[in-house]
Structure 1
């Protein structure tokens, strides 16, 4: 019976070079964006317990860290600020001398070629921890927040941001930011939209990392993870409003959404491997139950196979270090 088989898939798996010849998906550092945490109140690097291997960097060390990332081959960074000047509306984000603007300027001054894609949101800068203006009914007011997002976007662009990553999940935010940028002459500044950002338990380590003192939850404005079709509407709206890249966040639990989005759009698709996804692998590897390199590689290939062109991952720096040491993750 076996001699009658016309096609044997194992023929293309019989040795390493044949497997390389027919490999459908791969990635390199040009597919990866590195998030970086900058704390304006620190004097020395502070490891983040919930994200082993990741630290908050003092503002005074940012330029040196950017040099290190550049020398490892990393070309794309997404800075997040840990502010010590919080208020009810996050006004420090549109201050030209505020933390957001200073971070962007420092990176561009040190490495002008580095592509800087700052997070555009308010949760790290507000005293209540929400992503916008909280009104008298204790709701996040969508349209007031849009006004402030426009101001924040322009401040980041003035500081030298190459692209913005708005993550507040306000209705109409991409259109408002695009209009604000264009009105000020920043037509070349791109938008990497957090198009589908689910209200997820996987953000837990991030909230610890940035000292987000959230009162309540974000289920009223972040996408409901029960609903796939509704989530895709979010992405379609962002594309129609002028987004340049569409991102799904988190990644691993939502590969079906990544695939469906890839099939619906011609724009680049990004995925964010968030803190909880990173921490699961890291803690399991520390416990000796997973091979860390192989697990990271397999996970990122899963994102690519699902249709992602770009991956935001806390593993980016470590991947660069592994590649520098051995040239490969597997």
Structure 2
């Protein structure tokens, strides 16, 4: 199989474990292809952790999970220098933390204090960690996928804007339709029965298909780099982001709703994600539908809404919808 078939197979395997969340599965794959970090947000029990673990399980990659808690220390994430005594004398060696993996699940990231969240910034942005004055590079395939619960307030620490901006996309998971929830019940029941039968030895274990190689991801990234983006589409991306910074030039409503607009990272993320989306859908060029497919994930965490907007019950997605509606197509 070529890289495209491999990545589609990866997407299909994840979708078999995550019923009714096709958009979420595609977003996770786009995040890996675009070489970015993802923030996955949803209410408890909506398979945030399961989705990320399904991605890691089906990809030939080292997986690491960090359960964030209020008493976590930065060294618990990055690693630390350890003094060891040998026959030749004592010396310090670096003991890598769980951040040194290909797919890092930062579970309930908003439960950790600011120091721990800040420890992730260098790794997420620079793909390196500096401990005791020594810089340690991350692997070529390195993605942080963080989860957070939007409703819990006690014992949580909201992510600072600087860290939010370093997430390529902010993916929302919502409740599945009733029909899909029926399939979820059957899926989990089947998994439990298979596990019990496997322990008793009554049922031979099914051979799992081989994991998708990292080389498929690197090949896909190289092909995505060749996706054509016209000058008009470049300008359209910039216009969409500019509308968040000068909303008064677009409409009075946007001017009332948006307090702080998006940084240039939003434009770069739109470019990367739209090219990855086009590649997944077998196009060698980016068109507006690719942008519209990823723009909510790219912008929803990069908008600071005014108190008036919050009082009116406006969510970032409502504001993004208005921007897409009002900014002229190329």
If you compute each CA radius of gyration, which structure gives the higher value, 1 or 2? Answer: 2
Q: TM-score range by the shorter chain?
A: under 0.3
Q: Which has the higher contact order (CA 8 A, sep 6+)?
A: 2
Q: Which structure carries more helix by proportion? A: 2
TM-score (normalised: structure 1) = 0.27
